[in-house]
């Protein structure tokens, strides 16, 4: 069931169909196409110094969130259900050479062992992205089953997954697109 705003929620199954996307290489070109998310979880964005976040997928303001009880049943209460829009997917980047320290540096060992002198490393060949600044990248989608076997071929789900994988691999020279369906 799809409402006039292009949002669909099957309240019995908890499936959300989305046709609103952020301007990002992963979703660029999706236009009014649909992606399908069973039991999607909204994401919250928190500012972190040095990390840039971009919303990839979001629901309309006509979307509501429901809770799932201990028996995995969707509960709906129009009076208390949170109202959209909800952020359902994000792409995060940060400069890979940033000074973010996650663990303390190891301390030197008490005695030095003799080891052969290091040989010079081979010079890396230049690549098209050699001048690009290295980045750490992360994609978060509020649902893991949108790309499973039964849902991969639904609408643009497979394209979203493959575009995200290509973007994460930093193969920016490859075109991220909507692939032809078999």
Asked if residue 159 lies in contact with residue 30, where contact means CB atoms within 8 angstroms, the answer is yes
Domains of the chain: which residue ranges? 8-99+132-168
Q: What is the pLDDT of residue 75?
A: 80
Q: Interior CA angle at 128 toward 54 and 123, to 5°?
A: 120
Residue closest to 157 by CA, chosen among 55, 60, 43, 38: 38
pTM score, two decimals? 0.69
Grade residue 118 by pLDDT with cuts at 50, 70 and 90: very low
Grade residue 156 by pLDDT with cuts at 50, 70 and 90: very high
Average pLDDT score, the chain: 76
In this predicted model, what pLDDT tens digit does every residue of 66-76 receive, in sequence order?
877 888 887 88
Grade residue 170 by pLDDT with cuts at 50, 70 and 90: confident
- Residue 87's DSSP bridge partners are 58
Q: What is the pLDDT of residue 14?
A: 67
Asked if residue 158 lies in contact with residue 146, where contact means CB atoms within 8 angstroms, the answer is no
Strands of 135-141's sheet in order across:
51-58, 87-95, 135-141
Q: Interior CA angle at 164 toward 103 and 1, to 5°?
A: 125
Asked if residue 51 lies in contact with residue 32, where contact means CB atoms within 8 angstroms, the answer is no
Give yes or no for residue 108 having a pLDDT over 60. Answer: no
* Gyration radius of the chain's alpha carbons: 22
Query: Can the peptide bond before residue 134 be classed as cis, meaning omega within 30 degrees of 0?
Result: no
Give yes or no for residue 30 having a pLDDT over 70. Answer: yes
């Amino acid at each position: 069931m799809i409402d006039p705003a292009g949002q669909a929620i099957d309240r019995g199954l908890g499936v959300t169909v989305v046709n609103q996307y952020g301007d990002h290489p992963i979703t660029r070109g999706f236009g009014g196409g649909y992606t399908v998310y069973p039991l999607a979880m909204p994401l919250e964005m928190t500012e972190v110094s040095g990390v840039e976040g971009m919303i990839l997928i979001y629901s309309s303001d006509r979307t509501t969130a429901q809770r799932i009880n201990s028996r995995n049943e969707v509960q709906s209460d129009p009076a208390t259900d949170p109202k959209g829009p909800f952020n359902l997917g994000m792409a995060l980047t940060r400069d890979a050479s940033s000074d973010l320290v996650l663990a303390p540096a190891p301390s030197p060992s008490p005695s030095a062992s003799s080891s052969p002198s290091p040989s010079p490393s081979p010079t890396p060949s230049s690549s098209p992205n050699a001048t690009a600044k290295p980045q750490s990248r992360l994609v978060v989608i509020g649902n893991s089953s949108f790309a499973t076997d039964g849902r991969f071929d639904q609408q643009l789900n497979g394209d979203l997954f493959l575009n995200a994988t290509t973007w994460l691999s930093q193969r920016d020279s490859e075109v991220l697109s909507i692939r032809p369906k078999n």
